[in-house]
Amino acid sequence: MNNFLQETFGLDGKVAMVTGGHTGIGRGISNALAKAGADIFIVTHSGRNTEEVRAEIEGYGRRVEFYQADLSLEEEAAKSIEKCVEAFGKIDILVNNSGTIYRAPILEGENQMWQKVIDLNLSAVYYLSKEAAKHMVKQGSGKIINIASMLSFQGGKFVPSYTASKHGVAGLTRAFANELAEQNIQINAIAPGYIETANTAPIRANEKRKAEISSRIPAVRWGVPEDLGAAAVFLSSKASDYMNGHILAVDGGWLAR
């Protein structure tokens, strides 16, 4: 049984690049992939928490490298892929996790914030996936995991730019999968439900809103970053080799209601 699990879900010898892998959901995914055997290349925007995360990943006996970049810029996104390949010699797994959110009523929203959200949440996914896929095609294999959202399926409220970007992420996931499946590259996405992260802190600070959301989740709790780790390992491993263009909800049952 242990041999089966290792052969099917193990990531020994793999290199995973995780954007925003030093905090929140990304940190949970980075740790899970490292526990499964992968070396980790983390791209950060701020450079914070890197030493804490380094200690965690090296504690699993894995290598980790960090690179600071503004992924909303095409040239910096491309450079980050190059730096990963320079550091580890290849890229087997790309997790497009970095993202931002802007909350404001439609009639009051600032137009420049629309572009900021789209650039990081959607355009960066395109730039990074395209550059990573060039290396994966040469290798003859690869896994790309995008972080979608419940708002890849729903409209939400007060977050039109975020909703548009996450619908776009779902579309890019399917579009890349259609083109690259024959190259033995699998592109899928994880759609987290309500997870306790910095992005959801304003919602959780509103006790009434938090209670309303919690009451609608069949699991009767918000998720934590660690809840997404096993899904990321699955989508990074041999176990998902015949899975492509899928949006996997990890939401405590939110979409089932």
Active site residues: 162
Q: What are phi and psi of 15, to 5 degrees?
A: -115, 125
Position 193: which residue type?
A: G
Cα dihedral 127→70→27→234 (10° resolution): 0
